[in-house]
Structure formats: C-alpha cells, structure tokens
C-alpha cells in the first residue's frame, strides 16, 4: 500500500524498537499454571517523537500535514481529562507554530481539576490556548465545531481533529506502523504468533487491521478493549479499517472475522483503576523498567496477562505487545498505584 501520495510530517527518527521482555516473560510464566506462558516482546511506540511519546504521534504526522496544507492557525481536538491524544496534539501544534484548544469530556463526574498532575499539568506547561470542559455524553463533534466557530469569528483558521485522531487519514499512521513492523520482522528474523494492541477510539486497532490485511501480514491481531466489550468495539474497528482501505483505494472488504477483540479488562469504567491494571503496571516496571499508563496500556497489558494465565497461547509462543505510551498519566494516579 502506497502512503507516499499523502502529505506527511515526520516527528520520529527511524523505527521504534522491537525487543524481547525476558524478565517480564519469566515473571509471567511463574504466575501461570504449570509455569507455561508465551514469550512476550514489545514494540516501543511510547518512544515515538513529540514529547513524551505515544501512538497518537503516528496519526498526527498525517493530520497535521493536512492542517498545514489548509492554512490552519489553530488546532482543535477533544479527549478525557488525562488525554494522551490532547497532550500530543498540543505538542505537535507547538512544533508547527500553531495554537491549540481542547474540548475535555468529563466522563467521570468530578474528574476534571485545574490543578491535576499528569497530562493536565503538561497541558498547562505547554500553554494550551483554551480548554472547554463538557459533561459526559456531550456531542463532541458539535462541541468542537462551536469552538471552531469562535476561532473563525475572531479571524482565525481552525482545523478540527477528532478524538484520538481516529479517522481514515489519522489511521494511515498505523498502516505505516504495520509496514514498519513487517520490515523489522524480516530484518531481525523474528516472527510472532500474535500481536496485542489497545482498542479504544479504534484508530490504532483499525489502522493495524487495514495494514495487516493490505500488506498480507499473516499474524493474528488481538485488540484489548479499554472502554467497551467486543459487541460494541468490534464494529467500530471494522468500520475504521474499511474507511482506511477505502481512502487508500485498496479493493478489500473488512469482514467480521478480520477483527478480534477481547473485553472484561477495562471495568468498572474507562479510566477507573482496577487490580489487574495495577498488577500489570507494577509487574512491567519492576521487571523491565518500562512504564505503562493507568488508562490504556496498563489495562491492555492486564488483558495480555489474563489471557496468558487462561492458556490462550501455548508455552513458548511469541506474543508482541504494542506499547502505545501514556506515561505522564501515571502521575495522576500515584495513590492507586503505590497504595
């Protein structure tokens, strides 16, 4: 699949590392029945460019290129109070000399605080121009459009990026990731029995599905839900992957069988800590000095751990975990993680 016809900004030098996690794998095996567990590897998309890294960087390379081509001077996007996407969008805007505004959805009542640490601290340190806070269930597209209208009324030129950067254009970033992974597997002589990704706004998972299908990567791809169970999540991913393939002009249809999701690891609610997340964050930090986050990657890794303990993979199978970043949010959850 040819991505070269799409304008693209480059925020990362080279490919993100693809490395084994031997001490984590040993600790996981020790906690599994009969000590049987997969060999876990990691792709470090937490080390992507734009401080301090994360999966949205790949999407923003395409989205910001379009914003600049349209002459935008103000970027508008949305997310939750500790949104990694908002933080990285703001970093990209600063890098390009643009202003940035957020619409923040308070999905958990009372969760927004002007003095919060984590990503919200970085919002303020980076100098976000304005934050509009709205209650859970708000029509976020309409709310962002209202902010865009304000910018236009003041003589500015806004560009609106959807939550998570999850549209067909942003999804090209994870088609690029699939192509990058394919090259790394060839160069390193490494093959995987499964790839585990997070599945939320669906841009990353959908982009990987499109990339695997379009590049004929014959490795099972499994999405661990961070806000929905499969009955609700899988159709979103399927639609996103299809929209990406259509944008690329690839004559493929994404079927239900092409999208694999698991649920049960995100409850009781999006962004609310649970015991599995705490164990996963502590386990990877204490075996490999790799930091996960409480909202996304901690729950995704909890899913990988839970599946391994349930015998989902055979002993010695090689499983790749796609680390999508989010480390700054740790500092908003110190009590839960160390309590």
Dihedral sign for Cα 331, 53, 43, 163, please: positive
Residue 285, judged by CB atoms within 10 A of its CB (0-12, 13-18, 19+), counts as middle
Q: Is residue 5 part of a domain?
A: no
| Residue 124: CB atoms within 10 Å | 12
Residues 30-82: tens digit of each pLDDT: 999 989 999 999 999 999 999 889 999 999 999 999 999 999 999 999 999 99
108: domain CATH number is: 3.40.50.1100
**Confidence (pTM):** 0.96
Structure tokens at 121: 């601290």
Boundary residue ending a domain (164, 197, 219): 164
Q: Is 278 domain-assigned?
A: yes
Domain, as residue range, for 226: 18-54+167-338
pLDDT of residue 108: 87
Q: Which pLDDT value is given to residue 192?
A: 98
Specify the pairing of strand 18-20 against strand 39-44.
antiparallel
In terms of domains, do 245 and 285 share one? Answer: yes
3-state SS class at 306: helix
Q: Which of 4, 25, 31, 83 is catalytic?
A: 83
- pLDDT reported for residue 339: 73
* 83 labelled catalytic: yes
Beta-sheet strands, E only, within the chain? 18-20, 39-44, 74-79, 99-106, 130-135, 158-160, 194-199, 221-225, 260-262, 318-323
Using DSSP's 3-state secondary structure scheme, residue 317 falls into: coil
pLDDT of residue 179: 98
Verify that 134 and 184 share a domain, yes or no: no
- For residue 136, what are the CA distances in angstroms to 111, 112, 332? 11, 11, 20
Mark the ranges of the chain whose per-residue pLDDT is less than 50. none
Cα 107 to chain centroid, rounded: 18
The number of folded domains in the chain is 2
Boundary residue ending a domain (164, 188, 223): 164
Q: CA distances (Å), 55 to each of 69, 130, 131, 292, in order?
A: 23, 24, 22, 13
């Amino acid at each position: 699949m040819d991505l070269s016809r799409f304008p693209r900004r480059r925020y990362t030098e080279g490919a993100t590392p693809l490395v084994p996690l031997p001490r984590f794998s040993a600790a996981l095996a020790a906690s599994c029945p009969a000590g049987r567990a997969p060999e876990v590897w990691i792709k470090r998309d937490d080390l992507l460019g734009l401080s301090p890294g994360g999966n949205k960087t790949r999407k923003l390379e395409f989205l910001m290129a379009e914003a600049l081509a349209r002459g935008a001077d103000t970027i508008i996007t949305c997310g939750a109070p500790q949104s990694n996407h908002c933080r990285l969008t703001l970093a990209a805007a600063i890098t390009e000399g643009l202003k940035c505004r957020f619409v923040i959805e308070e999905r958990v009542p009372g969760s927004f605080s002007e003095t919060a640490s984590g990503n919200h601290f970085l919002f303020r340190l980076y100098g976000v121009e304005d934050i509009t806070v709205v209650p859970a269930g708000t029509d976020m597209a309409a709310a962002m459009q209202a902010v865009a209208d304000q910018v236009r009324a003041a003589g500015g030129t806004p560009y609106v990026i959807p939550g998570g950067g999850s549209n067909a254009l942003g999804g090209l970033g994870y088609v690029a990731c699939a192509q990058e992974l394919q090259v790394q597997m060839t160069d390193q002589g490494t093959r995987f029995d499964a790839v585990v990704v997070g599945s939320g706004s669906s841009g990353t998972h959908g982009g990987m599905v499109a990339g695997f299908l379009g590049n004929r990567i014959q490795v099972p791809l499994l999405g661990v839900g961070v806000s929905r169970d499969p009955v609700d999540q899988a159709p979103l991913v399927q639609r996103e992957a299809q929209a990406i393939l259509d944008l690329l002009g690839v004559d493929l249809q994404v079927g239900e069988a092409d999208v694999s999701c698991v649920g049960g690891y995100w409850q009781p609610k999006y962004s609310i800590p649970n015991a599995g997340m705490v164990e996963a964050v502590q386990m990877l930090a204490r075996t490999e000095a790799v930091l996960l986050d409480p909202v996304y990657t901690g729950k995704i890794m909890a899913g990988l751990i839970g599946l391994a303990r349930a015998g989902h993979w055979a002993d010695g199978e090689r499983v790749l975990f796609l680390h999508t970043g989010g480390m700054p949010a740790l500092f908003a959850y110190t009590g839960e993680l160390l309590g």
